Amino acid sequence: MPRSPIRRPPADLDLSAVLRTRDDLPIQINSESVFGNGQPLEVEVGSGKGLFLTNASQSTPEHNFLGIEIQQKCAEHAAGRLAKAKVGNAIMVCGNAEPLFEERIAVGTLEAVHVYFPDPWWKKRQRKRRVVNETSIANIAKAIRPGGRFHFWTDVLDYFEQTVEMIAQIAPELGVPIPEEETEAQHDLDYHTHFERRSRKYRIPVYRVRYEKRG
């Protein structure tokens, strides 16, 4: 399937309020340290072009949103989307999510973690590169507060089944997978993420679940 090109935001668009690197972030990442308030914090791993982060931060202004994206071009594109929308409760971080979860996010502090359409790494020998793996599941489960959520959507059945199995074994405190509904798109960008849009346009099945951490 083709991937549409990522455009850099216009050079005169100021990204300083919405784009950070790992080194610009406070040692401990939480709402107080990053946004200067105590609103619940939601983190998205692998934000791509930033459609989810932009829509979620606008529809839920009482929460803060932090997107982590390893590819600089994508992180800049997503930050451009946030800057154009003039949201004050979301930022993009350009970097690898794994060490941030390992070292910089305290136990039980996140309202939600979102992972949508992570890269599939189809070949068996490449699977250790998957962003949802035994280590990241343990870290994500630890970071979420009791009652908080983990959302995982993919169009790769094998990735979906492995993740559900790993969570049951490694992080039973996340509870059981709760199916999430597909909603009817009202316009061409009315999708949860760009990859959801792409899968649905090519009529590829999407597997969507949410977990709610037990108290």
Ligand X SMILES: C[S@@+](CC[C@H](N)C(=O)[O-])C[C@H]1O[C@@H](n2cnc3c(N)ncnc32)[C@H](O)[C@@H]1O
Residues making up the binding site for substrate = 123, 155, 193-196
The residues near 60 (Cβ < 8 Å, ≥ 6 apart) are 42
- Binding-site positions read 44, 69, 96, 119, 123, 155, 193-196
Report DSSP letters for 109-151, one per residue: -EEEEEEES-----SGGGGGG-SSSHHHHHHHHHHEEEEEEEE
Chain residues in the site for ligand X (CB under 6 A): 45-48, 68-71, 74, 96-98, 116-119, 131, 193-195
| Smaller CB separation from ligand X, 7 or 214 | 7
Give ∠ CA 14-96-90 in degrees, rounded to 5: 40
| Smaller CB separation from ligand X, 48 or 148 | 48
- What is the chain's length? 215
| Smaller CB separation from ligand X, 85 or 131 | 131
| Smaller CB separation from ligand X, 64 or 193 | 193
Q: Are 65 and 35 in contact (CB under 8 A)?
A: no
Report DSSP letters for 41-57, one per residue: EEEEES-TT-HHHHHHH
Nearest distance in Å: CB 86, ligand X: 22
Nearest distance in Å: CB 194, ligand X: 4
The residues near 55 (Cβ < 8 Å, ≥ 6 apart) are none
Nearest distance in Å: CB 197, ligand X: 8
Q: What is the side-by-side order of every strand in the sheet holding 178-179?
A: 19-21, 90-94, 64-69, 41-45, 110-116, 144-154, 207-212, 178-179
Verify whether residue 119 is a known catalytic residue. yes
Nearest distance in Å: CB 47, ligand X: 6
Give ∠ CA 21-80-204 in degrees, rounded to 5: 95
Catalytic residue among 14, 23, 119, 188: 119
Would you name the residues annotated as active-site residues?
A: 119
